Amino acid sequence: MEINFIYIICKCVESERQYDYSRFNNNVCSEFSFEDHNPPTIKMILAFCQHAEKQLKEMADRTLVIHCKAGK
């Protein structure tokens, strides 16, 4: 399966735990990040859903991945 877009949704301040986005062809969105072990705001959830829907409408066969490091 080819992954077309990755959402990394938790903030990571430790530099050794940061991802090298070039490994994912820079198809990474982290603008919806929030602190580990805390819930996102309703506003952020809505914005995230709208962004993901836009990505899928642009390419119906696109694969989106959502990743949170706290959920290891």
Q: Which amino acid is at 32?
A: F
Please give the Cα distance from 1 to 13 (Å, whole number). Answer: 30
Q: Which residue has the tokens 């290891």?
A: 72
Strand order in the sheet with 28-29: 28-29, 5-8, 64-67
Active centre residues (catalytic): 68
